[in-house]
A and B are shown apart, each in its own frame.
Chain A
Amino acid sequence: MLLISCPHCGPRDEHEFAYGHEAHIARPTLDQQNTMSDAEWADYLFMRKNPKGVHFERWVHARGCRQWFNVARHTVTHEIIKVYPMGEPAPKLEQK
């Protein structure tokens, strides 16, 4: 069970949030879509990093302010290392 700090509402119980899986997966542009191979589509749609270590992921405060945001979380300790806005690149973190 996680205690997640919503950028707007502050620390709240995991119950109030929904998980948005891996962050920073860029949707192909229209131009790219016209020329992408099936393998590139598969990569975009289905392939995931699923790291054992720090994971950059999205959460939404579904039962609170409804805001989406990014979280850097360790998948073994579950420690939440950083909360940062959508659209911002993944932070550089010391290797844990």
Chain B
Amino acid sequence: MKQNYSIFSLVRNALSYHQGWQEAWRSPAVPKPEYDVIIIGGGGHGLATAYYLAKEHGITNVAVLEKGWIGGGNTGRNTTIVRSNYLWDESAHLYEHSLKLFEGLTQDLNYNVMFSQRGLMNLAHTQHDMQALRRRVYAIQLNGIDSEILTPAQIKEMVPILDCSSSARYPIMGASLQRRGGVARHDAVAWGFARKADERGVDILQNTEVTGFKIVNGVVKGVETNRGFIGGKKVGIVVAGHSGVMAGLAGFRLPVESHPLQALVSEPIKPILNTVVMSPQVHVYVSQSDKGELVLGAGIDAYTSYAQVGSPFIIENQLNALTDLFPCFGRLRMLRQWGGIVDTCPDASPIIGKTPVENLFLNCGWGTGGFKATPGSGNVFAHTIATGEPHKLAQPFALDRFTTGYLIDEHGAAGVAH
């Protein structure tokens, strides 16, 4: 049995100098010869899938294979914005499902994921921004999701340090606000899912890289790894930036391109920003972490890459935008900067569902904005794997939408899609 995390366990363990904590998940020395389900990729989405397979479908003979350490991919590199203010119905329902799961996640996992619903503001700088923003807000409201329009005066009141003056480099004409949006602790999401999945019997195998598939007569039978062959009745691919590589090994093609996406944090300062501010038009977004650092992100590099580094000029552009919007940040120093490899789809929407190989399932294409979807994605993907049929929220996101033409074009719709 897992020990429950609580104020009492914290005090008890403090008395023994924190030497007595139980391991959060096991690290099995050898994989089992065969699993009912193998999940490739130990990011948040893969771990959440394993957790919901065990919790909601009673499938516990499951392994999560991670080539590095869990959460070391985009999950541990993202800027943790959580929101559900998407334009199209299909996206709105999927992301709202995830946001609702986020709202109960700390309790469900007995792990503090530090989900902070501090609100999320999207700025509009032009007349056309305002038109698009109104359309989006009304569509979101029609889907029963909270969203409102702020006037410049209301924005100024909420975020006094924003340059809302008439001489601003980028005039602020209004904003949309989703009050239930916010940020969460990325590592905690991965670790919390891992711990609870492990508790229900899921094997989490780190440093285990999938190098090939065993496919017999169009049906997947297991995977080749650096630790030898591991049998699997069903296999789910959840590897984000490496999805194209995995599909290549399994013999099919994807409409996905991998790009670097960067983020950076400033030196820590006293609390100054109590919401998330995004500017899709001049392309920067910022929040303040509990440690006091400003967490900043922007756009992808244009070219495809697997290098987990981006170009300095992208950072320069986003810092220019930042200091124009928030003149008082001009003298801050930046502490750290890093990159991840994001898997972008032509319509900026994910792919969830079956593949041309039987019993091989795919969850990818979350691109620059999948952290917010972590619990929802795992939840609908677990259903898809367990029943062999897509969850109703996942159905529109099947790979065959590129053949039917039923794209879910969130590109223009979502603005900055984080």
- Chain A residues in the interface with B (C-beta under 8 A): 1-2, 14-15, 18-19, 21, 38-39, 41-43, 45-52, 55, 57, 73, 75-78
Q: Which of B102-110, B164-172, B251-259, B322-330 contacts A (4 or more CB under 8 A)?
A: B251-259
With a cutoff of 8 Å between Cβ atoms, the chain B residues found around residue A46 in the complex are 255, 346, 402
Contact of A75 among B302, B305, B311 (CB under 8 A): B305
How many angstroms between the C-alpha atoms of A93 and B244 in the bound complex? Answer: 22
What's the tally of chain B residues with a CB closer than 8 Å to chain A?
A: 24
Q: Given A14-B311, A19-B302, check contact A48 B402 (CB 8 Å).
A: no
Taking CB atoms and an 8 Å cut-off, the chain B residues in 370-418 that contact chain A are 402-405
Q: Are B303 and A73 in contact (CB under 8 A)?
A: yes
With a cutoff of 8 Å between Cβ atoms, the chain B residues found around residue A43 in the complex are 253
Q: Say yes or no: is B304 at the interface (Cβ < 8 Å to chain A).
A: yes
Q: Given A46-B402, A48-B244, A52-B242, check contact A1 B256 (CB 8 Å).
A: no
With a cutoff of 8 Å between Cβ atoms, the chain A residues found around residue B305 in the complex are 75-76, 78
12 pairs across A/B with beta carbons < 8 Å? A2-B303, A18-B302, A38-B403, A41-B403, A45-B402, A46-B255, A46-B402, A50-B256, A50-B257, A55-B304, A75-B258, A78-B307
Q: Given A46-B402, A48-B257, A50-B254, check contact A76 B313 (CB 8 Å).
A: no
User: Can you add 17 more A-B contacts, CB < 8 Å, to A2-B303, A18-B302, A50-B244?
Assistant: A1-B311, A1-B312, A2-B311, A14-B311, A15-B313, A39-B403, A42-B255, A42-B403, A48-B244, A48-B256, A50-B256, A52-B244, A57-B303, A57-B304, A75-B305, A76-B307, A78-B305
With a cutoff of 8 Å between Cβ atoms, the chain B residues found around residue A42 in the complex are 255, 402-403
| Residue of B253, B304, B346 with most chain A CB atoms under a 10 A cut-off | B304
| Residue of A2, A42, A55, A73 with most chain B CB atoms under a 10 A cut-off | A42
| Residue of B248, B313, B403 with most chain A CB atoms under a 10 A cut-off | B403
How many angstroms between the C-alpha atoms of A52 and B254 in the bound complex? Answer: 14
